[in-house]
């Protein structure tokens, strides 16, 4: 296989660097002198190349060099979404060992070398060996590449020591194989998005900080290495409070043959900030004008939920259209309904607020939402809308209220035949919208809508924003003909594109790809099932009852759990007849069978058991008394991207009926 001249010279340069690092030339000179001294006779005048290679091989020097220059090619690709590169660990002590490096590409090696001043954990005692403790995990995203640090115990000075190899590449530049030069890299404005997650001893996650790291200062460093300290700020109401400091080190690899002056780098960054600020200012001026026009249509519009801007986790106001973007799931999700199920199994948690005073608003960036695996209804709706847009549907996020005037967000799709479907992102349910007919008598009884939504103020996606200007904002009375400007007041698509299109401003957080699940469904199902058996046996023992498990009956519950998950995903019920027939055969005449299925989106067996006991039906099964009582429990974990899980549990018992 022949290499292009530029690739060959690059490869030679890399090998030369490694040989210099190992001082191979010095070792060869030593061997040469020793061989001449020991092995050449008085009559021999010169040493052949073959003799020297034999001597080098005998002393193991050639083997050492080959080991150091070992390119590992197995397990190179790991499909995340649209085939982003696999996160690569990088060990400076053995430059090429166990890494997937393309010597023709440019890399940014980012090291996290410990943290300090995490004062909330000042009093945290040192964890004992083997003791379960709260941990910090650092999640990174850079240009379609996702990385995750090893969890470290929470402490005032957390012991982060991780390296991440980020490939610096640029799309649509013609020759994709060319190595990016400093000038090209200076035009790549994507930051490294860092999210710090805390996981407590029960597995509950908390978003600690979200930070956008500007890396291009390294392009102006003479030796291609830059060290800096990054102050992480809190999230939500604590976005102005420091939570800790990370020590970061950047290094370009391979080293830059020529660097830019620091003045050029600073000028480029200042110009980008200036350009972004101007675009955002012009959009704000336009949004104010649009809002004034909207209020002039009808004064009551002032009370409608028309949300043009929303605060992210760092307290920054951004246009709502920037939270949505067509998002492909690669081979991780196959259908829009499966995507809705995935979003539904991500946990629901309202933004935390200190003290009273109502709901704290916080729309999370996608990386922060995915990394902590839970968020508010707006986060779910934004992700579902993005996935449905990726599947080629005309999808919008709707902002309005539920019963009792509670603010809420959900998703709407508009079919080519005019069908309007609402998608509830927190449950996965779908509802067909049938507007009240204007021709019917007001006294005629209208069918009660099945959906829980009461009012709607606006709808938006990545390039459209429309305010509801119909006489009534009641959902059941609304007509969703979005092209009718007498019913829906649109914003200028050009204005939205100026601040929300990909690459329009440097302040726009890039969307990360979805990651495949790292949870082994079979192993996790078995673990939870064993823990539940133990908890049930202990609970019955406290009541003075013995416990006899019937494994075959437990196994027969599997089809029911699979059927329940299939129904949640597709809205189609299947397989129930076979399950009922099998149970009838397994339960003898004169015996009674009882079963109780329940669904969770977390994997904590103790917490699930406590919840089950609160149901009188489940408690009746677990605490069953009678003759020939046999108990069964079956757990089935269904995995989704981002290690989200749907956990189905079924408790059952059979016993002889005694009158």
Residue whose C-alpha is closest to residue 332's, from 322, 343, 323, 318: 343
Query: Looking at 130-139, 189-198, 454-463, which range is the least confident one?
Result: 130-139
Would you tell me how many other CB atoms lie within 10 Å of the CB of residue 11?
13
Residues 479 and 502: beta-carbon distance below 8 Å = no
Residue percentage of the chain with pLDDT more than 70? 81
The better pLDDT of the pair 7, 260 is held by 260
Residue whose C-alpha is closest to residue 537's, from 520, 549, 554, 525: 549
Q: Is the pLDDT score of 58 beyond 80? A: no
Tokens of 531: 């823990």
Query: Looking at 96-105, 594-603, 643-652, which range is the least confident one?
Result: 96-105
The better pLDDT of the pair 89, 271 is held by 271
Q: Which pLDDT band holds residue 7 (cuts at 50, 70, 90)?
A: low
Q: What is the mean pLDDT of residues 420-441?
A: 82
Q: Which pLDDT band holds residue 354 (cuts at 50, 70, 90)?
A: low
CA dist., res. 250 & res. 265, Å (int): 15
Residue found by looking up tokens 């416990």 in the block: 547
Name the segment(s) of the chain with CATH classification 3.40.33.10: 521-656
Q: pLDDT tens-digit profile of 542-566?
A: 999 999 999 999 999 999 999 999 9
Q: Is the pLDDT score of 335 beyond 90? A: yes
Q: Which pLDDT band holds residue 653 (cuts at 50, 70, 90)?
A: very high
Mean pLDDT of the chain: 85
At 95 the pLDDT is: 41
CA angle 200, 131, 210 (to 5 degrees): 30
Q: What is the mean pLDDT of residues 399-423?
A: 93
Domain 272-436+449-500 fold: C8orf32 fold (3.10.620)
CA dist., res. 190 & res. 510, Å (int): 7
At 268 the pLDDT is: 93
Name the segment(s) of the chain with CATH classification 2.60.40.150: 107-170+179-260
Largest CA distance in the chain: 122
SS3 at position 94: helix
- The length of the chain in residues reads 659
Residue whose C-alpha is closest to residue 244's, from 258, 234, 236, 253: 234
Q: What is the mean pLDDT of residues 182-202?
A: 91
Residue whose C-alpha is closest to residue 159's, from 212, 112, 213: 112
At 173 the pLDDT is: 46
Q: Is the pLDDT score of 41 beyond 70? A: no
Q: Is the pLDDT score of 408 beyond 90? A: yes
Q: What is the mean pLDDT of residues 299-321?
A: 92
Residues 6 or more apart whose Cβ sits within 8 Å of residue 104 = 7, 10, 177, 178, 179
Tokens of 449: 């809508």
At 66 the pLDDT is: 65
Q: Is the pLDDT score of 91 beyond 50? A: no
Residue whose C-alpha is closest to residue 229's, from 212, 246, 214, 244: 246
Q: Is the pLDDT score of 174 beyond 80? A: no
Query: What dihedral angle (degrees, nearest 10) is formed by the CA atoms of 531, 533, 535, 541?
Result: -150
Query: Looking at 99-108, 160-169, 284-293, 333-342, which range is the least confident one?
Result: 99-108
Residue 537 region by backbone torsions, left for phi larger than 0, else alpha for psi between -120 and 50, else beta: alpha
CA dist., res. 110 & res. 247, Å (int): 11
Q: What is the mean pLDDT of residues 616-630?
A: 91
Three-state secondary structure of 537-571: HHHHHHCCCCCCECHHHHHHCHHHHHHHHHHHHHC
CA dist., res. 434 & res. 447, Å (int): 9
Q: Is the pLDDT score of 83 beyond 60? A: no
Q: Which pLDDT band holds residue 376 (cuts at 50, 70, 90)?
A: very high
Q: Is the pLDDT score of 434 beyond 50? A: yes
Alpha-helical runs (H) found in 355-440: 366-372, 377-390
At 329 the pLDDT is: 92
Alpha-helical runs (H) found in 322-365: 336-345
CA dist., res. 432 & res. 422, Å (int): 6
Distance of CA 594 to the CA centre of its chain: 39
User: What is the rounded radius of gyration, in angstroms, for the C-alpha atoms of the chain?
Assistant: 31
228 phi, psi to nearest 5 deg: -150, 160
At 85 the pLDDT is: 46
At 257 the pLDDT is: 83
Q: pLDDT tens-digit profile of 111-161?
A: 999 999 898 877 777 767 767 789 999 999 999 999 999 999 999 999 999
- HSE, CB side, 13 Å, CA atoms: give it for residue 125: 5
Residues 6 or more apart whose Cβ sits within 8 Å of residue 246 = 112, 114, 115, 138, 160, 194, 229, 230, 232
CA dist., res. 242 & res. 137, Å (int): 18
CA dist., res. 550 & res. 456, Å (int): 52
Residue whose C-alpha is closest to residue 470's, from 306, 320, 292, 310: 306
At 2 the pLDDT is: 56
Residues 108 and 218: beta-carbon distance below 8 Å = yes
Domain 521-656 fold: Pathogenesis-related Protein p14a (3.40.33)
137 phi, psi to nearest 5 deg: -130, 135
Residues 351 and 362: beta-carbon distance below 8 Å = yes
At 5 the pLDDT is: 61
At 80 the pLDDT is: 41
Could you give the C-alpha distances from 108 to 79, 192, 338, in angstroms and in order?
21, 11, 36
Q: Is the pLDDT score of 72 beyond 80? A: no
CATH 3.60.40.10 fits 107-170+179-260, yes or no: no
Would you tell me how many other CB atoms lie within 10 Å of the CB of residue 32?
14
CA angle 129, 110, 64 (to 5 degrees): 80
Would you tell me how many other CB atoms lie within 10 Å of the CB of residue 254?
17
At 90 the pLDDT is: 44
Residues 321 and 490: beta-carbon distance below 8 Å = no
Sheet holding 644-656, edge to edge: 591-600, 644-656, 627-640
Tokens of 314: 């760092």
At 657 the pLDDT is: 75
Q: What is the mean pLDDT of residues 413-421?
A: 93
At 79 the pLDDT is: 37
Q: What is the mean pLDDT of residues 500-527?
A: 90
Overall pTM surpassing 0.85 (yes/no): no
578 phi, psi to nearest 5 deg: -65, -40
Residue percentage of the chain with pLDDT more than 90? 58
Tokens of 431: 């509802």
Q: Which pLDDT band holds residue 92 (cuts at 50, 70, 90)?
A: very low
Q: Which pLDDT band holds residue 365 (cuts at 50, 70, 90)?
A: very high
Tokens of 549: 């498990």
CA dist., res. 487 & res. 472, Å (int): 10
Residues 322 and 365: beta-carbon distance below 8 Å = no
Q: Is the pLDDT score of 377 beyond 90? A: yes
Q: How does DSSP classify residue 46?
A: -
CA dist., res. 322 & res. 378, Å (int): 13
Residue found by looking up tokens 């027969």 in the block: 556
Q: Which pLDDT band holds residue 609 (cuts at 50, 70, 90)?
A: very high
The better pLDDT of the pair 439, 226 is held by 226
Tokens of 186: 């200076």
CA dist., res. 202 & res. 607, Å (int): 9
Q: What is the mean pLDDT of residues 213-220?
A: 91
């Amino acid at each position: 296989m022949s290499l292009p001249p530029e690739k060959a010279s690059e490869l030679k340069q890399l090998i030369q660097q490694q040989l210099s690092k190992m001082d191979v030339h010095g070792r060869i000179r030593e061997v040469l002198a020793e061989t001449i001294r020991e092995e050449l006779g008085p009559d021999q005048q010169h040493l052949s190349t073959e003799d020297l290679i034999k001597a080098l091989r005998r002393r193991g020097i050639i083997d050492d060099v080959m080991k150091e220059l070992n390119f590992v090619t197995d397990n190179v690709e790991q499909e995340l979404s649209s085939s982003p590169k696999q996160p690569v660990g990088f060990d400076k002590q053995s430059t090429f060992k166990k890494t997937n490096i393309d010597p023709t590409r440019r890399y940014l090696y980012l090291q996290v070398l410990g943290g300090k001043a995490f004062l909330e954990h000042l009093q945290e005692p040192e964890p004992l060996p083997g003791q379960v403790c709260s941990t910090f995990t650092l999640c990174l995203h850079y240009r379609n590449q996702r990385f995750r640090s090893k969890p470290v115990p929470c402490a005032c000075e957390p012991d982060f020591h991780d390296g991440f190899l980020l490939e610096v590449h640029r799309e649509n530049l013609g020759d994709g194989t060319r190595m990016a030069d400093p000038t090209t890299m200076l035009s790549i404005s994507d930051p490294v998005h860092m999210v710090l997650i805390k996981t407590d001893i029960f597995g509950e996650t908390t978003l600690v900080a979200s930070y956008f790291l500007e890396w291009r200062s390294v392009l102006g460093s003479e030796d291609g290495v830059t060290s800096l300290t990054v102050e992480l700020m809190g999230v939500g109401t604590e976005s102005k409070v420091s939570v800790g400091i990370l020590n970061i080190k950047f290094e370009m690899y391979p080293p830059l043959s020529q660097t830019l002056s620091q003045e050029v780098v600073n000028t480029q960054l200042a110009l980008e900030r200036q350009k972004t600020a101007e675009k955002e200012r012009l959009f704000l001026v336009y949004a104010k004008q649009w809002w004034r026009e909207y209020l002039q249509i009808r004064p009551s519009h002032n009370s409608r939920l028309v949300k043009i801007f929303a605060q992210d986790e760092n307290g920054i106001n951004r246009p709502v259209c920037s939270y949505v973007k067509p998002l492909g799931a690669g081979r991780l999700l196959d259908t829009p309904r499966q995507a809705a199920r995935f979003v539904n199994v991500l946990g629901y948690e309202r933004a935390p607020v200190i003290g009273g005073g109502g709901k704290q608003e916080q729309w999370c960036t996608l990386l922060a939402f995915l990394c902590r695996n839970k968020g508010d209804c707006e986060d779910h709706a934004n992700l579902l809308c993005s996935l449905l847009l990726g599947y080629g549907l005309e999808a919008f996020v709707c902002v309005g209220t539920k019963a009792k005037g509670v603010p809420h967000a959900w998703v709407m799709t508009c079919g080519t035949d005019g069908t309007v479907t609402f998608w509830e992102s927190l449950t996965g349910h779908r509802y067909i919208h049938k507007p009240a007919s204007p021709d019917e008598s007001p006294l005629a009884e209208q069918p009660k809508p099945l959906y829980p939504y009461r009012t709607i103020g606006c709808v938006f996606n990545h390039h459209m924003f429309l305010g509801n200007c119909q006489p009534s904002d009641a959902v059941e009375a609304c007509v969703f003909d979005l092209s009718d400007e007498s019913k829906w007041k649109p914003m200028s698509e050009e204005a939205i594109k100026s601040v929300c299109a990909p690459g329009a401003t440097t302040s726009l957080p890039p969307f990360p790809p979805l990651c495949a699940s790292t949870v082994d469904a079979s192993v996790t199902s078995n673990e939870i099932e064993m823990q539940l058996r133990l908890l049930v046996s202990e609970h019955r023992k406290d009541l003075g009852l013995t416990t006899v498990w019937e494994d075959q009956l437990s196994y027969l519950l599997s089809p029911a759990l699979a059927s329940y998950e299939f129904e949640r995903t597709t809205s189609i019920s299947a397989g129930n007849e076979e399950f009922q027939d099998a149970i009838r055969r397994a339960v003898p005449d004169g015996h009674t069978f009882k079963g109780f299925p329940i669904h969770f989106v977390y994997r904590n067996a103790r917490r699930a058991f406590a919840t089950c006991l609160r149901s009188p039906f489940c408690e009746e099964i677990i605490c069953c008394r009678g003759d020939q009582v046999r108990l069964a429990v079956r757990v089935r974990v269904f995995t989704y991207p981002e290690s989200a899980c749907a956990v189905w549990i079924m408790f059952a018992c059979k016993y002889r009926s005694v009158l």
